[in-house]
């Protein structure tokens, strides 16, 4: 029973430390030097433990549990743990948490969703592609920094957008195993006793200790999507959370979302004041500095930017590539292009949205007038199957480099339209598009009378590496061939990266054919004219530039 109690206590503490990436500082056995350890760190660990337990139980989500596990493995500073028995129990804790590791397909889904959010925000900020034109921003890298701040790091983004994630999955597959939940609830019940013992040992003021009901109210307040209401709830709690750094982060964030910059800066200053550096890599510390730099914008001094970026990079996990990208854009704004490029390469090496990062690298070389490096990057982009053609076309839109367009022209002209017939029914259009022109969230539409109609089905032919977009029941061929005027149909490949539209002429072709099998058997020599419809690509619009297509290709 005694061993079970000690295990439960340590499990509670370490669960919280894993959630926040805390580096546990432990008072060495027999140490007399009061300066060797600040007891307030133990208090913070206890409060983090209570917060973590309440979050895991409240959310009941396997991704959040996985984040706890990952942060424990990566962030605990083993050199601070002096008690061998604690180390042994920590090992047991690791074994317990791995009992329900998130599956690879679940983690991939979350990572892909997050990557799309970051990419789309950056495309909106840098490209101006949503309006159908290419835009050369006065300071595109500053705009990109603001966009990245808006998405947030993966640690905070998942909780913020949990409802969106839920819509894409079977919820029963993402809940925590009931036995693990029972264990966590059992730990929570025993938590109070160890807190009282440590409070008596270190003589902390009782108002600094967070009670379970206080933390539960706080966690529920953080879930509120209404930033004004969330701010009011947190404002009423600030007396209870005066010594808890994460509270000041969330309170400052709510103020920042409500455009109260003075209050936000005040809260972030309180975070700095209460933060005791017990983390090895602190996601809250990184987020505070990102928010502060985003809010200061062009008013931040170079010294403030450098100091903030140093803290951000030092406190970012390998998986927090969004933080690395934010830092890269900040350095680019300062015209420190080499540092910015090194950070972009770091994300490319980790395979984070390779296409977008290479495009930003190329834009960085344009900005720094590094002509040779720009040529090397674009050549690699053309030859790299992981790079979308739209990202190359965006660069063409900025430079009017016709040689670059010619290098990807074949991919564009590979877009074809065919008819799929149905017996006694109208025909389908099947638009075949090279994979390198297709994003996971691309919208392919047909324009008709000013309306955009999406495809009815999408499939991929792995042999030809083509995406097949089917538009069902759109053409009555029998009626169409009776008319004398040919028409054109236009399809849009709509994505935030760079829009492309292609237009096909539905040409009517007559062929003289002999009568059917029975006529031939009877010796008939009668013939008839068979009219068919043959789509031909006649026009391509790239961004805001229109090109005719002839037998030689794009007419530039």
- Structure-token pair, residue 218: 């706080």
Written as six digits, the tokens of 477 are 């061929």
**Which residue reads 């910059």 in tokens?**
261
Write the CB contacts of 5 (distance below 8 Å, at least 6 apart in sequence): 190, 193
CA angle, 487 then 493 then 495, to 5°: 150
pLDDT in the model for residue 37: 57
Show the CA angle centred on residue 486, arms to residues 484 and 492, nearest 5°: 160
Nearest to 544 by CA among 267, 134, 49: 134
Kindly calculate the radius of gyration of the chain based on its CA atoms and give it in whole angstroms: 30
Whether the CB-CB separation of 227 and 260 falls below 8 Å is answered with no
C-alpha 270 chain-centroid distance: 30
* The predicted structure's pLDDT at residue 350: 93
**In this structure, what token pair is assigned to residue 24?**
């546990």
d(CA 556, CA 549): 9
How far apart are the C-alpha atoms of 269 and 262, rounded to whole Å? 11
Sign of CA dihedral 432, 433, 435, 438: negative
Q: Which residue has the tokens 């693990």?
A: 180
CB-neighbour burial class of residue 421 (10 A; exposed 0-12, middle 13-18, buried 19+): exposed
Q: Phi and psi (nearest 5°) for 383?
A: -90, -5
DSSP string, 370-423: -HHHHHHHHHHHHH-TTS-HHHHHHHHHHH--HHHHHHHHHHHHT-EEEEEEET
φ, ψ of residue 142 to 5 degrees: the values are -65, -40
Q: Output the tens digit of pLDDT for each of the chain's 556 residues.
A: 444 444 343 334 333 334 333 332 333 333 344 455 567 777 777 787 778 778 878 888 878 777 766 654 446 555 544 434 334 434 544 555 566 666 777 777 878 888 888 888 888 877 653 333 343 445 778 888 888 888 887 767 877 877 777 766 666 678 878 887 777 777 666 667 777 777 777 788 877 888 889 999 999 999 998 999 999 999 999 999 999 999 999 999 999 999 999 999 999 999 999 998 877 888 899 999 999 999 998 899 999 999 999 999 999 988 889 999 999 999 999 999 999 999 999 999 999 999 999 999 999 999 999 999 999 999 999 999 999 999 999 999 989 999 999 999 999 999 999 999 876 678 999 999 999 999 988 999 998 777 889 999 999 999 999 999 999 988 888 888 888 788 999 999 999 899 999 999 999 887 766 666 656 555 666 665 667 889 999 999 998 899 999 999 999 9
51 CB burial (10 A radius; 0-12, 13-18, 19+): buried
Distance CA 240, CA 98 (A): 34
- Are residues 530 and 490 in contact, defined by beta-carbon separation less than 8 angstroms? no
Distance CA 301, CA 34 (A): 39
Measured CA to CA, the distance from residue 194 to residue 43 in angstroms comes to: 12
- Comparing C-alpha atoms, which of 522, 37, 552, 58 is closest to residue 276? 37
**Nearest-CA neighbor of 76 among 11, 29, 14?**
14
What is 489-506 written as a DSSP string? EEEEEE-SS--EEEEEEE
Distance of alpha carbon 342 from alpha carbon 337, whole angstroms: 9
**Residue among 278, 395, 13, 322 nearest 151 (CA):** 322
Residue 188 to residue 183: CA distance in whole angstroms: 9
Q: Which residues pair with 206 in a beta bridge?
A: none
Block residue for tokens 């970051």: 118
Which residues, other chains included, contact 142 with Cβ-Cβ below 8 Å and sequence gap of 6+? 297, 298, 329, 333
What does the chain come to in residues? 556
Contact 227, 264 (CB under 8 A): no
Dihedral pair phi/psi, residue 455, rounded to 5°:
-65, 150
Give the start-to-end residue ranges of the domains of the chain: 2-101+176-223, 104-166, 419-555
Q: What share of the chain is helix, strand, coil (3-state, %, to 5)?
A: 60, 15, 25
24 with 45: CB under 8 angstroms?
A: yes
């Amino acid at each position: 029973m005694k061993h079970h109690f000690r295990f439960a206590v340590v499990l509670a503490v370490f669960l919280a430390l894993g959630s926040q990436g805390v580096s546990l500082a432990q008072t060495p056995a027999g140490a007399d030097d009061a300066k060797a350890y600040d007891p307030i760190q133990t208090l913070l660990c206890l409060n983090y433990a209570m917060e973590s337990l309440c979050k895991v139980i409240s959310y009941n989500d396997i991704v959040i549990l996985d984040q706890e596990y990952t942060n424990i493995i990566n962030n605990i500073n083993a050199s601070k743990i002096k008690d061998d028995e604690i180390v042994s129990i920590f090992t047991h804790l690791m074994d317990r948490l791995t009992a329900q590791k998130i599956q690879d397909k679940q983690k991939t889904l979350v990572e892909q969703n997050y990557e799309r959010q970051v990419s789309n925000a950056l495309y909106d900020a840098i490209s101006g592609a949503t309006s159908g034109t290419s835009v050369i921003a006065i300071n595109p890298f500053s705009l990109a920094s603001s966009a990245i701040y808006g998405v947030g790091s993966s640690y905070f983004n998942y909780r913020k957008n949990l409802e969106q994630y839920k819509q894409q999955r079977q919820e029963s597959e993402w809940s925590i195993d009931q036995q693990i939940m029972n264990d966590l609830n059992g730990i929570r019940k025993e938590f109070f006793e160890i807190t009282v013992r440590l409070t008596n040992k270190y003589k902390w003021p009782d108002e600094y200790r967070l009670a379970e009901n206080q933390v539960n109210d706080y966690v529920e307040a953080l879930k509120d999507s209404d930033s004004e209401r969330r701010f009011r709830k947190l404002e009423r709690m600030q007396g209870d959370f005066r010594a808890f750094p994460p509270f000041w982060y969330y309170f400052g964030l709510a103020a920042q979302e409500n455009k109260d910059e003075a209050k936000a800066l005040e809260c972030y200053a309180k975070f700095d004041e209460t933060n005791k550096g017990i983390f090895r890599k602190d996601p809250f510390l990184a987020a505070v500095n990102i928010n502060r730099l985003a809010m200061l914008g062009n008013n931040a001094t170079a010294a403030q930017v450098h100091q903030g970026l140093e803290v951000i990079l030092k406190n970012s996990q390998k998986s927090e590539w969004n933080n690395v990208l934010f830092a890269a854009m900040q350095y680019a704004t300062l015209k420190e292009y080499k540092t910015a490029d090194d950070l972009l390469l770091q994300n490319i090496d980790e395979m984070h949205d390779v296409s977008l990062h290479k495009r930003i690298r190329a834009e960085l070389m344009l900005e720094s007038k590094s002509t040779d490096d720009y040529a090397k990057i674009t050549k690699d982009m053309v030859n790299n199957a992981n790079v979308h053609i739209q990202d190359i076309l965006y660069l063409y839109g900025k430079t009017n480099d016709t040689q670059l367009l010619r290098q990807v022209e074949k991919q564009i002209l590979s877009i074809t339209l065919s008819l799929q017939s149905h017996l006694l029914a109208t025909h389908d259009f099947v638009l075949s598009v090279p994979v390198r022109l297709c994003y996971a969230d691309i919208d392919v539409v047909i324009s008709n009378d000013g309306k955009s109609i999406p495809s009815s089905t999408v499939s991929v032919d792995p042999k030809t590496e083509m995406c097949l977009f089917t538009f069902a029941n759109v053409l009555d061929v029998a009626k169409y061939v009776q008319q004398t005027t040919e028409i054109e149909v236009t399809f849009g490949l709509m994505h935030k990266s760079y829009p492309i539209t292609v237009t096909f002429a539905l040409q009517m072709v007559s062929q003289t054919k002999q009568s059917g099998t029975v006529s031939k058997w009877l010796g008939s020599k009668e013939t008839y004219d068979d009219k068919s419809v043959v789509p031909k690509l006649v026009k391509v619009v790239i961004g805001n530039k229109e090109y005719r297509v002839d037998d030689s290709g794009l007419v530039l």
